[in-house]
Amino acid sequence: MKPRILVAGLGNTGVDLLRKLSSQWAVSGLEQDGAAVDRARLSVDPTGPGVTIHQGDATSALVLKRAAPEGAQGAVAVLGSDEANLEFLRLAREVLSIERGYALLYDEINEARYFEAGIDLVSQDRACASILVTRVQGGHRVAAGIGLGQGEIMEVEVLAGSPVVGRTLAELHPRRWLVGAVYRDRTLIVPHGQTELQAGDKVLLVGEPDILPSIATLIRAGESEFPLQWGANLGMLSLPGFEGIFDEVLYLLKSTSADRLELIGDGTDTRQWQPLLERCEADGVPFQQCAIADTGTKNLCLDGAEHDIGVLVLPPAPLLLRHKLGLARSQVQRILSRVSAPVLVARKSFPYQRVVLGLADLPFPATAAQLAIDVARVLKIELHIAVGQQPDIVEGAERRAEMEARRRVVERLAGMYHVRPHTTVLTGNPVRELIAFSKGSDLMVVPYPRGQVGSFARPNVWLYLIHQAPCSVLILPE
């Protein structure tokens, strides 16, 4: 026996519903207008199996009792107005004990009323817009009427030139979005962190609708809207010296796709933020103040996902002898061990006109190169690759060749984005040479391998660069 359902409203949408539901459901249609009832009977055979059509007011309890199929499992409202829809579905629940209600939303101002009543919605405007986006925006398909119906589900095809080809999903650092499925050669792949994307894959993305189009563009062709691939906000911690870097934070907020500023403090003395809050309000900068339990770095440095942090901005801090010898971790090291988003040590060297990617030690992750390229593209500034290497007698020809191969990989990656990098090879002490080279730059991008511990015999190159570079340093923890 077919399950039973009641459809109220027999305009074009209602009649089409009768036809499409009748193959799987026993459907009763209800319409007050006599002319609409006649048109429905011409379009749908009311004597056919599974279809009955009634004339009457769908907001009348007596009419509903007469028209509703016995044991109906659902009610659909397409009556032309939200008021009529809500009243019909209320009566269907109270009089006929039909719990499952569905409706076509006509005015978004009434959306909350439907949700409060537990009614599933389809927005006609959103559904039509999603279909048009699919037609206009090649390569993207937006799900219409799925989920919340707000464009939080998209399908995108990975192009051959996309830099995500060969990358694992874990390397993409998903925040506020995820890959729900991968379709490859007519096969469904249920993805996990180590799933590698390939050219031609169709990827089903699920995420918040305000960032999902940007993520779809990133997956499809590698076009990034930094820093959205890590998070939507910039974060500041209430660490000593944070007041002095606020201008650089505002510059970064206005120059990128970040949504707002998260001011993260311990909540014990809110006066410390007052000058910054006044600046935010005066400049029209969106911000949010967050208080946590205490001022310890472990607690201040929360995982970026909790505050949706795309870049965490810190003031400079000294590098002490015990940090150099690996006997203790510096403040920046402790923070880098707690976050996955990039961290900016701001030294007020803005506005950025030139970004340098420091290639100083191996293995060198491609994700750091990707970050430098993204920054150069978003800010429309020069990209320089500075390769710091020691003489052959110290480093060895094999390691020199490996460094050279890595440099070529980075240059090819930049070329895929139509970015022409300027490459400089520096021979000598890598730290000393790169620090000297960075004096002509505004921003340096470096990776930071969390597991690497420095010592007197084997210094942590990245740690020295982070603390001693004369310009701001953007660090990607790995």
For range 453-461, the mean pLDDT? 64
pLDDT, position 120: 86
pLDDT, position 294: 47
Between 238 and 133, the more confident residue is 238
pLDDT, position 415: 76
pLDDT, position 408: 86
DSSP string, 101-166: EEEEES-GGGHHHHHHTT-EEEEHHHHHHHHHHHHHSTTEEEPSSSTTSSS-EEEEEPPTT-TTTT
Handedness of CA 167, 170, 176, 181 (dihedral sign): positive
**What's the Rg (C-alpha) of the chain?**
30
pLDDT tens for each residue of 46-71: 555 678 899 999 999 989 888 877 77
For range 407-433, the mean pLDDT? 84
Q: What is the pairing mode between strands 287-291 and 153-157?
A: unpaired
At residue 6, the 3 state secondary structure works out as strand
Other beta carbons less than 10 A from residue 303's beta carbon: 11
Give the chain's count of helices (H) and strands (E). 18, 21
pLDDT tens for each residue of 13-51: 899 888 888 877 888 999 999 999 988 888 876 555 678
pLDDT, position 324: 77
- Residue 348's closest CA among 421, 242, 231, 202? 242
Kindly compute the dihedral angle of the four CA atoms of residues 312, 315, 321, 324, in this order, to the nearest 10 degrees. Answer: 30
pLDDT tens for each residue of 77-106: 999 999 999 999 999 999 989 988 999 999
Mean pLDDT, the chain, integer: 82
pLDDT, position 3: 83
pLDDT, position 416: 66
Q: What angle do CA 289, 238, 355 make, to 5 degrees?
A: 100
Question: What percentage of residues in the chain have a pLDDT greater than 90?
Answer: 26
pLDDT tens for each residue of 176-200: 788 999 999 889 999 998 999 998 8
pLDDT tens for each residue of 2-13: 788 999 999 988
pLDDT tens for each residue of 258-274: 888 888 876 555 677 78
- Residue 441's closest CA among 347, 366, 374? 347
pLDDT of 450 over the 80 cut: no
pLDDT of 458 over the 60 cut: yes
Identity of the amino acid at 285: V
The owner of tokens 């995500």 is: 164
pLDDT of 316 over the 60 cut: yes
pLDDT tens for each residue of 203-217: 998 887 767 777 787
Question: What percentage of residues in the chain have a pLDDT greater than 70?
Answer: 84
pLDDT, position 282: 83
pLDDT of 317 over the 50 cut: yes
Q: Give yes or no for a contact between 452 and 460, defined as CB atoms under 8 angstroms apart.
A: yes
Q: Give yes or no for a contact between 411 and 423, defined as CB atoms under 8 angstroms apart.
A: yes
- Residue 388's closest CA among 430, 440, 356? 430
Q: Give yes or no for a contact between 465 and 454, defined as CB atoms under 8 angstroms apart.
A: no
pLDDT, position 32: 93
Q: How far is CA 113 from CA 58, 89, 116, 124, 384, in A?
A: 19, 12, 5, 17, 55
pLDDT of 303 over the 50 cut: no
Q: Give yes or no for a contact between 386 and 358, defined as CB atoms under 8 angstroms apart.
A: yes
For range 435-457, the mean pLDDT? 80
pLDDT of 137 over the 60 cut: no
pLDDT of 166 over the 90 cut: no
For range 323-349, the mean pLDDT? 86
pLDDT, position 295: 46
Q: What confidence tier does 305 reach under pLDDT thresholds 50, 70, 90?
A: very low
